[in-house]
Amino acid sequence: MKTSTIDLLVDLINRDSVTPEDKGCQERLADELQEVGFKPEWMPFEEVKNLWLRKGTEAPLVVFAGHTDVVPTGPIERWETPPFTATIRDGKLYGRGAADMKAGVAAFTIACREFVEENPNHKGSIALLITADEEGPSINGTVKVCDTLKARNEQLDYCIVGEPTSSQVFGDTIKNGRRGSLTGTLTVKGKQGHVAYPEKVRNPIHLSAAAMAELVATEWDRGNEYFPATTFQISNYHSGTGATNVVPGAAKIVFNFRFSTASTPEGLKEKVHAILDKHGVDYDLEWVLGGEPFLTESGPLTTIVQEAILAETGIKAELSTTGGTSDGRFIAKICPQILEFGPINASIHQVNEHVDVNDIETLKNIYKRALKALLT
């Protein structure tokens, strides 16, 4: 099976664009779409390459967003074929980034090209927002492009992010929002000493135990129609000197909230401090807000993409807000309707990452149907 979408995807996979490298992927996309009237604008920030590729100046503006960077391969010897040599085997296309998310990028690029060729007088405008900083720290990529677009009053009306959202079968899941992420690094202060003289020490592990138990047991919210309840998880707990007869002088605990629109970062912080203070813990606490939650309620964009998926696959996609964060959290601040849809995510970030060959062209057709519904 040979199509323009597969050809482009193979070319992208063959470029070892481990974050924050791009290795010419964005130039390849620009070359593909300049021929049909798209104008590239390069937005580099420090070491990160970003591309804003737009055709038209009128509203509405439909944006496809994605990233060309990929995670490292892991142990090369565990790959059945070289990770940066796209290989088709048993109906699947293998390579690092095949699912996350070069298939989505290739599919919406060709969808845009074919749509413009078939509808040269379409209404509105189309743009691609491409970064090489999604799999990295995400500080010089989409967030800064969005800041630039906002500063010059460019209005985004609809955005589809090509992240791999399908779960069990291709087309079963659309992400119409994502939970926020809030991380706390808690240092509990104690007093180091010999375990045989407990009257002379203050054990930070003991001192924090009741407070941590309450934090783990707390119901932060009950979620809402679109989001599950907010969760609290301890990811790291470090203490001790390595000796069996020494009470440590401090304990460091790292925890994370994945929170819904039913909570706010400020509200979660206040509750945590209140619990720690109630238990008399002597502590320092540093916070990092990884991203706020965003949500596109059922409406024009979700309906259009659901109908496109149904027409191409016979599957009615479910709306979901589960999973980790994505660059959608930045775009949501300047775009009223945004969702994510792409291939099956079962193999992402794993060795032998792959997509089903038959899904690649279908994905392109779904994106093209969405464009037709929005711009004709």
Report d(CA 359, CA 225) in Å as an integer. 30
Report the C-alpha gap between 353 and 93 in whole angstroms.
8
Give the distance, in angstroms, between the CA of residue 146 and the centroid of all CA atoms in the same chain.
15
* Catalytic-role residue among 32, 134, 312, 353: 134
Q: Annotation-wise, does 21 bind a ligand?
A: no
163 annotated to bind ligand: yes
Of 32, 69, 353, 359, which is the active-site residue? 69
CA pair distance 96, 83, nearest whole angstrom: 5
Q: Is 122 labelled a binding residue?
A: no
Helices (H), the chain: 4-13, 25-34, 103-118, 142-151, 204-217, 265-278, 300-313, 328-331, 357-375
Examine the residue annotation and report whether 199 is marked as an active-site residue of this protein. no
Q: Is 349 annotated as a binding residue?
A: yes
Q: Is 225 annotated as a binding residue?
A: no
What is the biggest distance separating any 2 CA atoms in the chain, rounded to whole angstroms? 84
Whether the CB-CB separation of 303 and 309 falls below 8 Å is answered with: no
> How far is the C-alpha of 9 from the C-alpha of 51, rounded, in Å?
18
Distance CA 136, CA 22 (A): 12
- Does 69 qualify as catalytic in the annotation? yes
Q: Do the beta carbons of residue 327 and residue 142 sit within 8 Å?
A: yes
DSSP class of 230: P
> Residues of 108-136 as b/e, b for ≥16 C-beta within 10 angstroms?
bbbbbbbbbeeeeebebbbbbbbbbbbbb
Residues comprising the binding site? 67, 100, 135, 163, 349
Instruction: Give the residue numbers annotated as catalytic, written as ranges.
Output: 69, 134
Residues comprising the binding site for Zn(2+)? 67, 100, 135, 163, 349
